[in-house]
Amino acid sequence: MATTHLSLIAQDRIVYEDDVDMVILPGASGVFAALAKHAPMMAVLQPGEILVRKQGEEDRYFAVGGGFAEVRPDEVVVLVRSAEAAEEIDIARAEEARRRAQEYLSSPEKERDMEQRLAMEAALRRSLARMKVARKRAAVRSRGAEQTPYPQSQQEE
Ligand code: ATP
């Protein structure tokens, strides 16, 4: 099977780089797959999860903040605010971030500026993505599954 070269780059580090079979990305206008020989495209990404599939290896999941993806026939470059591999995620921290964001968003709106509200909505989406990715990994591990069929894995919640 032809592979594509994935570079997953966050603001502070290169999180993952390898030749892979398939990448599933959280596009702002919908989840999409990038495989080798994909037509060139650029996409805005929203906070969510990335699935990386490589033959002979366990599927990898990453939680990402918003950003961009550039897809070319032999390469996928993902530039995001933040990215963590499932095993790096601190669930308690993500839960605390979710609690803070929900508290802010559910409190009275007066004297709240739109910019802060949008920032909190994005923080909430990042925290939910982190929890989803971390829990998905735990579920896959407990099932002992090597690969979860896609898109079934996206519909677990
Ligand atoms: P928090 O309020 O907990 O800092 P945040 O969404 O504002 O969450 P970011 O600004 O997106 O955090 O990320 C800052 C750094 O912390 C990045 O390097 C990111 O990968 C890391 N990070 C954030 N939350 C977690 C988490 N729950 N587990 C592991 N790393 C995290």
Range of the domain at 11: 4-89+120-146
Among 79, 88, 93, 99, which residue has the most ligand 1 atoms within 8 Å of its CB, making it the best to mutate? 93
Looking at the predicted structure, is the pLDDT value of residue 65 above 80? Answer: yes
User: 90 alpha carbon to ligand 1 midpoint, in Å?
Assistant: 9
- Retrieve residue 83's tokens: 């990215």
Answer yes or no: is 134 within a domain. Answer: yes
Model pLDDT for residues 68-116, shown as the tens digit of each residue: 999 999 999 999 999 999 999 999 999 999 999 999 998 876 566 788 9
pLDDT band at 137 (very low <50, low <70, confident <90, very high): confident
Q: How far apart are CA 156 and CA 139, in angstroms?
A: 10
Looking at the predicted structure, is the pLDDT value of residue 149 above 60? Answer: no
Report the pLDDT value the prediction gives residue 139, as an integer from 0 to 100.
76
- CATH number for position 45: 2.60.15.10
Answer yes or no: is 30 within a domain. Answer: yes
Q: What is the dihedral of CA 116, 121, 123, 127, to 10 degrees?
A: 160
Answer yes or no: is 72 within a domain. Answer: yes
Answer yes or no: is 74 within a domain. Answer: yes
**The total number of structural domains that make up the chain:** 1
Model pLDDT for residues 19-61, shown as the tens digit of each residue: 999 999 999 999 999 999 999 999 999 999 999 999 999 999 9
Cα–Cα separations (whole angstroms), residue 110 to 106, 107, 117, 137: 12, 9, 11, 40
Q: Give strand ranges (E) for 21-74.
A: 22-27, 30-35, 41-45, 48-53, 60-64, 67-72
Q: Specify the higher pLDDT residue, 156 or 96.
A: 96
Report the pLDDT value the prediction gives residue 110, as an integer from 0 to 100.
56
Whether 53 contacts 147, CB under 8 Å: yes
Cβ–Cβ contacts within 10 Å for residue 71, how many? 21
Q: Is 87 in the pocket of ligand 1 (CB under 6 A)?
A: no
Report the pLDDT value the prediction gives residue 107, as an integer from 0 to 100.
83
Residue 87 burial class via C-beta count within 10 angstroms: exposed 0-12, middle 13-18, buried 19 and up: exposed
Q: Is 86 in the pocket of ligand 1 (CB under 6 A)?
A: no
User: 44 alpha carbon to ligand 1 midpoint, in Å?
Assistant: 20
Averaged pLDDT for residues 2-18: 97
Answer yes or no: is 115 within a domain. Answer: no
pLDDT band at 157 (very low <50, low <70, confident <90, very high): very low
Answer yes or no: is 102 within a domain. Answer: no
